[in-house]
Amino acid sequence: MVDSIIEKALSGPRALGAGDLAVLVALDDPAEIGKVREAAYGLKCRYSGKVVSMRGIIELGNVCAKDCYYCGIRKSNAKLERYTLSADDIARLAEIDAGQGYASLVLQSGEVEGEAHTRFIEDCLRRIAPLGLGVTLSLGEQEEDVYRRWREAGAERYLLRIETSNPALYARIHPESHSWERRVECLRALRRCGYQVGTGVMSALPGQTPDDLARDIVFFGEIDADMIGMGPYIPHCDTPLGRTAPELPASERLRLGLNMISATRLYLHDVNIASTTALQALAPDGREQGILAGANVMMPNITDTKYRRSYQLYDGKPCLDENALMCRGCLERRLALLGESVGYGRRGDSPHFLARTSAKAPSA
C-alpha cells in the first residue's frame, strides 16, 4: 500500500489524493514510516540539495489582540509581561543575523493592527533593507493595504498559518470573533501583493482526525503555498485548551508532526518546509528529524534571551537560554551529523515561488 503511494507521489507534484495523504499521515509502522521519510528526504535533496536554509527569527513583541484558546501569548493571559522591542533592538538583531551568514530573517510577533504599528514595521523594514536579507514577516492578519505597504518597504515573504483547514475545528479552538474566512482572505491578499506566501497548521489538535490533516495538505496546494511551517500542538498551562491533558503522548505527537512534513513534501515537492521548534520541544533532536522527514528550513531564535520567557507559545519551548551564537554552533554540529550543511550566504527562496514567477514572466 505504502509502496504504491510513494511511487504515485514521486510521479509528480499533487499526484496523491486526500485518501493517500490520510494513509501517510496516520502511519505508525516503523518500517513503513522509514520508507516514506526516505522518499520525502530524497525529494528535499532533489530540490534543495543536502543544505538547510536558515532564517534567524526575531520575536519582536508579545502584545497580541487575538485570544486563541491554545496560545500562551493570547491577550487574556494576564500572567505575561508584555514587551515590544525598539526599532534599534530589531536593527541590531538583524545585523547579528546577517553577521551569522544566515541571509534571511523572520520578524514575528503577536497580532497588532493599526497605523502606528504599520508604520513601526515599515520603519524597521527600511532600516534593515541595506543588509540585503530575505525578510519574512509573521505578523498575523492585516488589511491588504498594510501588506502592500510592508511589501513595498522590503518584506518579500509572509507566514500566516491557517492553523486548520477545517472551519468547524477552527471554531472550536478560537473565540467566535476569530474568522477562518478572514484568514483565507488574508492569504489571498498576500498573494496579490506579490509575497512568497507561507501557511501551515498544527497537528495533534484535540478532535483532529487524519482526514483533517490530509485536507490541510490539499489546502496548501489549493492556496498554492510557497512555504509551509507547521508543528504539533503543545499545551500551554495558562490557556483554556492547555488545561486538559493532550489526547496523544509526546512520541505520537512527534510522529504526527513528522508524518505531516513527509506527506506535504511528497504532495507538493518544491515548497520550502520549516522544521519547527515545536518538534524540538517534543524530542531534543526533533528538528533534525524534521529535516530527515523532508523539511529544508530551520528558524533559529535570535531574540535576546531576556525576552524569550515572555514568548512562550507553549510549555517547554526550547532554547530559552541559548543566545544566537550558541544556537548557530549547535545547529551546525547537529546538521553535520546528518551530512547536511548550513546554507550560509544563501537566501533560500522557495523553489516553488521561483518556478511560479518565472513561468509567468514573459520570455526574453
Binding residues (CB under 6 A) for ligand FES: these are 64, 66, 68, 71, 73-74
| Pick 174 or 352: Cβ nearer ligand FES | 174
Of 33, 146, 184, 313, the residue at the interface with ligand 5AD (CB under 6 A) is 313
CA distance 247 to 230: 19
CA distance 323 to 309: 13
Of 2, 39, 60, 71, the residue at the interface with ligand 5AD (CB under 6 A) is 71
Site string for ligand 5AD, 223-242 (x = CB under 6 A): --------x-xx-x------
Residue 219 near which of ligand 5AD, ligand FES, none (CB within 5-8 Å, type-dependent): none
Q: Is 314 in the site for ligand 5AD (CB under 6 A)?
A: yes
Instruction: Let me know: does 118 contact 148? Beta carbons within 8 Å.
Output: no
Q: State how far the alpha carbon of 137 is from the alpha carbons of 111, 330, 358, in Å.
A: 12, 25, 23
Sequence-distant (6+) residues with CB within 8 A of 337 are 288
Query: Could you tell me the smallest distance in angstroms from the CB atom of residue 148 to ligand 5AD?
Result: 22
Residue 236 near which of ligand FES, ligand 5AD, none (CB within 5-8 Å, type-dependent): ligand 5AD
Q: Is 180 in the site for ligand 5AD (CB under 6 A)?
A: no
Residue 66 near which of ligand 5AD, ligand FES, none (CB within 5-8 Å, type-dependent): ligand FES
| Pick 231 or 286: Cβ nearer ligand 5AD | 231
Site string for ligand 5AD, 201-220 (x = CB under 6 A): -x------------------
Q: Where are the alpha helices (DSSP H) in the chain?
A: 2-10, 18-26, 30-48, 87-99, 115-128, 144-152, 167-172, 180-192, 210-223, 250-268, 277-282, 286-292, 305-308, 324-336, 351-360
Q: Where are the alpha helices (DSSP H) in 144-273?
A: 144-152, 167-172, 180-192, 210-223, 250-268
Query: Could you tell me the smallest distance in angstroms from the CB atom of residue 345 to ligand 5AD?
Result: 27
- Rounded to the nearest 5°, which phi and psi values hold at 252? -80, -30
Q: Is 120 in the site for ligand 5AD (CB under 6 A)?
A: no
66 φ/ψ sector (left φ>0, alpha ψ -120 to 50, else beta): beta
Q: Is 311 in the site for ligand 5AD (CB under 6 A)?
A: no
Dihedral of the alpha carbons of 59, 138, 292, 212, in degrees to the nearest 10: 130
Residue 202 near which of ligand 5AD, ligand FES, none (CB within 5-8 Å, type-dependent): ligand 5AD
DSSP code for 301: B
Cell readout for 138 is 509573521
Query: Could you tell me the smallest distance in angstroms from the CB atom of residue 146 to ligand 5AD?
Result: 18
Query: Could you tell me the smallest distance in angstroms from the CB atom of residue 160 to ligand 5AD?
Result: 8
- Rounded to the nearest 5°, which phi and psi values hold at 190? -60, -40
CA distance 74 to 63: 8
Any bridge partners for residue 272, and if so which? 227
Q: Is 261 in the site for ligand 5AD (CB under 6 A)?
A: no
| Pick 44 or 236: Cβ nearer ligand 5AD | 236
| Pick 179 or 323: Cβ nearer ligand FES | 179
Query: Could you tell me the smallest distance in angstroms from the CB atom of residue 362 to ligand 5AD?
Result: 37
Of 161, 265, 328, 352, the residue at the interface with ligand 5AD (CB under 6 A) is 161
By the criterion CB under 6 A, which residues form the site for ligand 5AD?
70-71, 161, 163, 202, 231, 233-234, 236, 278, 313-314
